[in-house]
Structure 1
C-alpha cells in the first residue's frame, strides 16, 4: 500500500502526472488488499482509530491466519475474535508476540501497551462467574485499544451486598460494561447507581426460558434505569469497542 507521502513525492519527481497523483490519492483513501476470499480494509485505523478486527468464527484456520498475519505485520495491536486455538498455534510459529486467551477465545497482538486514557477507567462487571468469558472479551478488547480496565466479577443481584461492597470502585469508572445472563437485572441496578454510561451485554447463560439470552436482552432493552445502552447477545467485543469509543471522547 502506497502512502500519501510517497504518492506526492512521485508527483513532485515527475514519476506521476498531477492527474495520476489525484487518482492515486483517491485510491489510497479507500485502499483494500484483495486476498480473493477477503478484502482487508487498510484504512480502518486511520478512519476509526483501530485496525480492522477479524471475526474468526466461520472462517477456516488458514483464512484467519492469512488475514491476521498481514494485519500483524502492519499494526502493533491486532485482534481476532472467536478464534480457535489452532489459529494462535499457526501464528505463534512465526510471531512470538502473538497471544491467546482461552476464556475470551481471542488471538491478539498487543505490542503497544500505551494506556491512552489512564485517568478514564472502564469497569467490566459480571453478574456471575459463567458470564466471565464474554466479559473477558470486552475487557481485553478495551485494554488492547489503550484503556485501563477494572474487572468486577460475580456481583449479581442474588447477593446485592457483593455489588454494594464494590460500589465506590464502580462509581469511579468512566464507563461501565455490565455482563449478565439469566434475567439480566444487573444492568438496571448498576444504572441506578452511577452517573456514567452503562453498556449492557446480555449473555446466553441461563435455563430454558432464558431462550439463549433473549430474556436477558429484552430485560436490558426494557431497563427503567436511565443511561443504559444494550449490545447484542454475547457481544463482548462490541461492548469493549463502544466503551473505548466513549472513553476517547473529549
Structure 2
C-alpha cells in the first residue's frame, strides 16, 4: 500500500464513505500477505517509497499473476522485471491496463505517473549487447519517478566514446 492509498482510506473511513468492516478487509493483509509460495510486502511502498518489485525469473506464470494481482488489489503500482512475452500475455489478461516493454522485459502498471525526482539518472552501457539490461534499469528508474538519459554503446574497447559524451556524465546526479 502506498501512502496516498492509506491516506485516502483513512479519509474515506473518517467521512464514512467506507465502512469499518471494509476498511478492515483492506488493512488485514498489512504489512505482508502470505500466499503460501510468497510473502507479498504490502508496506514496501510506505517504507521505501515504491511497492515491492516482482522478479519474474524462477516463478511460474500463475505465481507472478497472483503476486501482481495482490499488489494491485492493495492499491499499489506493479513493476515486474525479467518478464517474458508469455508472462506478459498472462498478466495482461488479468490486469489489462499493464504495459510491456519488450526490450527491457518489464511489465508496468501505474495508476498515474509519479512525481519526478530532482536530478537525472544516466544509464550507460558499453556495448549493444548490454542495451536490454540498460533499458531495464532506465525504465525501472523512470517508473520510480526519476528522469533518465540513456548513453548506449559508448565503448568496451576504448574509453574515447564515453569521454566524447562527458557533458552527459557531468549533468547526471
The answer to whether TM tops 0.5 is: yes
1:153 aligns to 2:164 (yes or no): no
- Aligned residue in 2 for 1:232: none
More strand by share: 1
- Aligned residue in 2 for 1:126: 125
Deviations 1:103-134 (A, max 9, x none): 222222133223421x4000000110111111
In the alignment, structure 1 segments of 5+ residues that lack a partner are 10-14, 16-23, 175-250
Shift of 1:161: 3.0
More relative contact order in 1 or in 2 (CA 8 Å, sep 6+)? 2
1:83 aligns to 2:95 (yes or no): no
Distance 1:140 1:153 in 2: 14
In the alignment, structure 2 segments of 5+ residues that lack a partner are 15-19
Task: Tell me the TM-score normalized by structure 2.
Answer: 0.77
Shift of 1:165: 2.0
Structure 2 contact 40–67 (Cα < 8 Å) conserved: yes
- Aligned residue in 2 for 1:34: 34
Distance 1:52 1:108 in 2: 12
Distance 2:39 2:112 in 1: 25
Structure 2 contact 42–74 (Cα < 8 Å) conserved: no
Distance 1:75 1:133 in 2: 29
Deviations 1:129-188 (A, max 9, x none): 1111111111111000000000000001424332122111111000xxxxxxxxxxxxxx
Alpha-carbon RMSD: 2.7
Distance 1:132 1:113 in 2: 24
Q: How many residues end up aligned between the 2 structures?
A: 156
- Aligned residue in 2 for 1:51: 51
Task: Tell me the TM-score normalized by structure 1.
Answer: 0.55
Distance 1:143 1:169 in 2: 17
